[in-house]
Structure 1
Amino acid sequence: MAGIDVYMVRHGQTYFNLLRRFQGFSDAPLTDAGIQDGHKAGQRLAKIHFDGAYSSDLTRAIHTARYALSENQAQSPVEPTTLPNFREENFGSFEGRDSQVTLTDLNARVPKTYNAYADMVADLGMPVVMDIFHDADPYHLAESYQEFVNRIEAGFKDLKSRHQDGDKVLLVSHGTTIRAIADYFGHPEMAAHPVHNGAVMHLRLKDDGADILAFNDITTVFD
């Protein structure tokens, strides 16, 4: 099959992003720059007619989707439908904490010391790092990798049930979620890199997986 084209956009910059804090299921409002991230992504996707428009049910994703859709010139939906399965990873008790303080805690659980979260993901892989968060959370709220995969698989099953071959879909989600999806579809080298606010990952979703046609893209004007 030709597949369903899914344009996954990371939400715009939030105050937690600006302050370098883990966000996860928690939420923080978009900064002024984050609002512009949404508009800029929408401008680069403005020529595409979307057969469906979706976001995670977290406010930062909903607002980014609205800003992006306000730029659309191809008679796409004006309001996103929320899909909770595409939320960010649940970081449990680490939510809202400074990223470097959290990294210090996680470094105590691995054989070597990492200076940045991105370095840990690049070296150990997204599945392992998700499980480190899960195992380190004293409140047992942080998701394991398998729990994350279960809800993402359910999310894609839901999207497939709503659309048919050849449809184009906008989906505003989150940085770690987008990276983990790239890893899930066979690209750990992509998952090793932080995703820019407002960046696009273009997936062609098929019965047997997905092709990734663009990743972490902040320059292409799509048509």
Structure 2
Amino acid sequence: MLVVSVALNFKEDFMSELTIYFVRHGKTLFNLFNRMQGWVDSDLTEDGKEDAIKAGKRLADIKFDCAYSSNTGRAEATRDLVVSQLQQHPSKVGAMPEFREVLFGYYEGLDSDQIWNEIGTPYGYHTQEAIIEAGGLRYARELMKKEDPSHMAETYDEVINRWQAGIDQLQQAYPNGAKVLIVTHGTSLRMFADHLGIETLNNYPENGSISTLTVDADGERFTSYNQKD
């Protein structure tokens, strides 16, 4: 009986594994122009559409139980292009706002390099990566929040809690495990990877890249991050 019990427990743990394939959306006009793009939106470029199609081809053999994106136009457009390349269409396709990009507050739509220079200069930094190298992603979010005239920019904890709520929803929806596709965004994905111990300094998710998260009885862990080939 002991052997049977152990075998059953192993099967239960195995079946409850949730595998989430995060794809960063394809390149957009704001990406092309190096603009802050959080909750504001812009269309995919032709290269961005190709990013999505290539990601779909890399994932084509996986049988997804569902395919979601954040509720931004660029993520939804990428999701639909990725799904179009899959051999088996997921039974559920939709949007989850929990996986939106970081809200950059007043800085939405402005030149990214100029804004990080403006935010960092009072503290002796001139680039986002210099700030991150000095104090981490949490520090970068704190400085943006502090300097944001609107004080609407999201903090590190706000973003992590939002993402965690989305993952918790998926666990509740698929208690017996599932393979899930989620099209999301670079900065919020980078932050969640950092939260789980991935080294992300000078390692920003590329457009169309794939990162894989496993959620099971042992917790949450990235088994791959920012993979494009």
TM over 0.5: yes
Asked whether 1:81 is paired with 2:94, we answer yes
**Distance (whole Å) between structure 1 residues aligned to residue 145 and residue 196 of structure 2:** 22
Q: Offset of 1:76 from its aligned partner? A: 2.4
Partner of 1:98: 111
Whether the aligned pair in 2 keeps the contact of 1:4 and 1:204 (CA below 8 Å) is: yes
Unmatched runs of 5 consecutive residues or more in structure 2: 1-12
Whether the aligned pair in 2 keeps the contact of 1:198 and 1:218 (CA below 8 Å) is: yes
**Distance (whole Å) between structure 1 residues aligned to residue 196 and residue 176 of structure 2:** 19
Partner of 1:157: 168
Q: Offset of 1:113 from its aligned partner? A: 2.2
Return the index of the structure with the highest Cα Rg.
Answer: 2
**Distance (whole Å) between structure 2 residues aligned to residue 119 and residue 69 of structure 1:** 37
**Distance (whole Å) between structure 2 residues aligned to residue 26 and residue 75 of structure 1:** 29
Note closer, same or farther for the CA distance 1:130–1:209 as it changes in structure 2 (3 Å cut).
farther
Partner of 1:16: 30
TM-score normalised by the chain length of structure 2: 0.88
Asked whether 1:201 is paired with 2:214, we answer no
Whether the aligned pair in 1 keeps the contact of 2:24 and 2:205 (CA below 8 Å) is: yes
Whether the aligned pair in 2 keeps the contact of 1:39 and 1:68 (CA below 8 Å) is: yes
Q: CA RMSD in A?
A: 1.6
Equivalent of 2:222 in 190, 212, 217: 212
Unmatched runs of 5 consecutive residues or more in structure 1: none
Which SS does the other structure have where 1:124 is aligned? helix
Partner of 2:120: 107
One-letter code aligned to 1:107: G
Which SS does the other structure have where 1:214 is aligned? strand
Whether the aligned pair in 2 keeps the contact of 1:118 and 1:193 (CA below 8 Å) is: no
Alignment length, in residue pairs?
215
TM-score normalised by the chain length of structure 1: 0.91
Partner of 2:4: none
Which SS does the other structure have where 1:80 is aligned? strand
One-letter code aligned to 2:172: S
Deviations 1:12-68 (A, max 9, x none): 000000001110111011000001111000000000000111100011000000000
Q: Offset of 1:171 from its aligned partner? A: 0.4
**Distance (whole Å) between structure 1 residues aligned to residue 164 and residue 117 of structure 2:** 32
Which SS does the other structure have where 2:200 is aligned? helix
Q: Which has the higher helix share?
A: 2
**Distance (whole Å) between structure 2 residues aligned to residue 133 and residue 208 of structure 1:** 34
**Distance (whole Å) between structure 2 residues aligned to residue 127 and residue 185 of structure 1:** 13
